[in-house]
Amino acid sequence: MVQSFDAVTAWRAAGEAGDAAGAVAALSPDVTLVSPITEQFVFRGHRQVHTLLDVALTAIDEITYTDQVSEGRTVALFYEARIGATRLYEAQRLRLNADGLISNITLYVRPLPALTLLMTRLGPELARRDGQPGLARLIPLASGLMHSMATTGERRIMPRVAPR
């Protein structure tokens, strides 16, 4: 049987258009999305994933998918984007169910300063939408410190140990 990738095509188009509702339409009702920050942070079902995508697609600009690789019902997608002036590269492992809908998403983001910047942009709004205003105020402090450390490492420390 030939695997249909209609859901993947719809997912890509929605991501590039910044359309959270269109992206969710490509997902199975029991979808899980594993955060690039920690595997302990999992979004489950259309409602939670829609909330994440709505916030993320507002924070991330100029998503352009560059590559797609598939084997069976597993697809790897790669895109390039921006968060302000910071370049972001993301890999997505998508697993399709028997109906051809996306049932599992695992995200991988690089470089580290892009990931920590993403945390500072998404975390507070996700906490607010989850009814946790105190946490929404705390997240920028914690993630801002991590972002500062990651940016300093990227700009000042890692260039000194780069291969010559």
pLDDT digit string (tens) for 69-124?
999 999 999 999 999 999 999 999 999 999 999 999 999 999 999 999 999 999 99
Is a pLDDT exceeding 80 seen at residue 129? yes
Is a pLDDT exceeding 90 seen at residue 41? no
Q: What percent of the chain has pLDDT over 70?
A: 98
Rounded CA-CA distance 70/77 in Å is 9
* Residue listed under structure tokens 């940016």: 151
90 has which bridge partners?
79, 109
| Tokens (6 digits) for 107 | 């995200």
More confident call, 162 vs 11: 11
- Check: CB of residue 76 under 8 Å from CB of residue 93: yes
pTM as predicted: 0.91
Can you tell me the mean pLDDT for 15-37?
97
More confident call, 35 vs 24: 24
Q: What percent of the chain has pLDDT over 90?
A: 91
Confidence of residue 37 (pLDDT cuts 50, 70, 90): confident
- Residue 137: predicted pLDDT: 95
Alpha helices by DSSP H, listed for the chain, are: 6-17, 20-24, 45-59, 112-129, 133-152, 158-161
- Residue 3: predicted pLDDT: 66
The CATH code of the domain at 1-110 is 3.10.450.50
Rounded CA-CA distance 68/9 in Å is 10
Mean model confidence pLDDT for the chain:
95
- Nearest by Cα to 116 from 153, 156, 151, 84: 151
